[in-house]
Amino acid sequence: MKYLSKLQAVLEGGHFAVTTEIGPPKHAGAHGLKYTAQILKDFVDAANITDNQTAIVRLSSIAAGVHLLANALEPVAQMTCRDRNRIAIQSDLLGAYSLGIRNLLCISGDHQQFGNHPTAKNVYDLDSIQLVNLMSRMRDEKKFFCGEEIKEYEPRFFIGAVANPFADPFEYRVDRLEKKIKAGAQFIQTQGVFDMERFERFMELVRARGLDQRAHILAGVIPLKSWRAAKFMQTQVAGMIVPDALVDRLKNAADPPSEGVAVCIEQIKYIRENIKGVHGVHIMAIAWEDIVPEIVKQAGLYPRPEVVLD
């Protein structure tokens, strides 16, 4: 089989995938991206490039993805529905594909009121489910969103979406996941998992519907540097559940960053060994990307598998 990307080859080859996340800088310099790519390239299968996350202006996710490619790290370009209408989305993604980007993550995007331009106008011409569906159609039916034929060189992305097992109402989370998979999502990255019991219940429902057989699910994990970071996520981040026991564990630790790494490694091992239907992990080391290699090694996920795309 010819795979669209290394990430797809790893997942469809039956390997436990590892992805991570990189936030582009709030300036036009690429040196930080290049440095981070060199650190991560041997330890992850691909790295998400966020698209103006939290509605804060940053270097383009597509441009950042090209810098990663040039430094031997496969990117996953995020595309938000917040900032572009369907014309701009298609144009940007044709450009991304022409530059060598092969993985795409379709997301709605944080509301602009959370960012540094709160009075900016949002777009939301499409929602994330529609975007997944229409990008699948571009690839498989060779049609633009309007139905016009793409005569040649259609963008053939490996298409992903996100899921949050921790938002309410709980049962709706699986319904929404199923809609994204029906629309054509081939891989799913979840919100950071801290409440393992709830995540296990979520995956029970996922398996009951056979969704884990129709898309590759990667569980999100977040290494925390301090109890204050844990407390912030617990109290200030919507759709996130952080148990009090974890906050207390970090608060009582002699070395909180090391303890945060230990917790993350424990989570990865537990997910991999005990929760069926999970095909990998997505490590979101927020502003702490250089810790990812250590996490991957200690979790028993290094070396990464070698795959052939053709």
Are residues 247 and 231 in contact, defined by beta-carbon separation less than 8 angstroms? yes
What string of DSSP letters covers 244-301? HHHHHHHHT-SSHHHHHHHHHHHHHHHHHHH-TT--EEEE--TT-GGGHHHHHHHTT-
**Closest C-alpha among 136, 175, 180 to residue 158:** 136
Average of pLDDT values for 203-214?
98
107 strand-pairing partners: 80
> pLDDT digit string (tens) for 72-103?
999 999 999 999 999 999 999 999 999 999 99
Count of residues for the chain? 310
DSSP 8-state class, residue 28: S
> pLDDT digit string (tens) for 227-282?
999 999 999 988 899 999 999 999 999 999 999 999 999 999 999 999 999 999 99
Are residues 47 and 68 in contact, defined by beta-carbon separation less than 8 angstroms? yes
- pLDDT value of residue 238: 82
- pLDDT value of residue 83: 96
- pLDDT value of residue 133: 98
DSSP 8-state class, residue 50: -
Residue 294: Cβ within 10 Å count: 16
- Does residue 219 sit in helix, strand or coil? strand
Which residues, 6+ apart, have CB-to-CB distance to 233 below 8 Å?
192, 194, 222, 224, 240, 242
CATH architecture of 6-298: Alpha-Beta Barrel (3.20)
- pLDDT value of residue 12: 97
Q: How far apart are CA 101 and CA 97, in angstroms?
A: 5
- pLDDT value of residue 310: 73
> pLDDT digit string (tens) for 140-185?
999 999 999 999 999 999 999 999 999 989 989 999 999 999 999 9
Q: Is the pLDDT of residue 1 over 70?
A: no
> pLDDT digit string (tens) for 11-63?
999 999 999 999 999 999 999 999 999 999 999 999 999 999 999 999 999 99
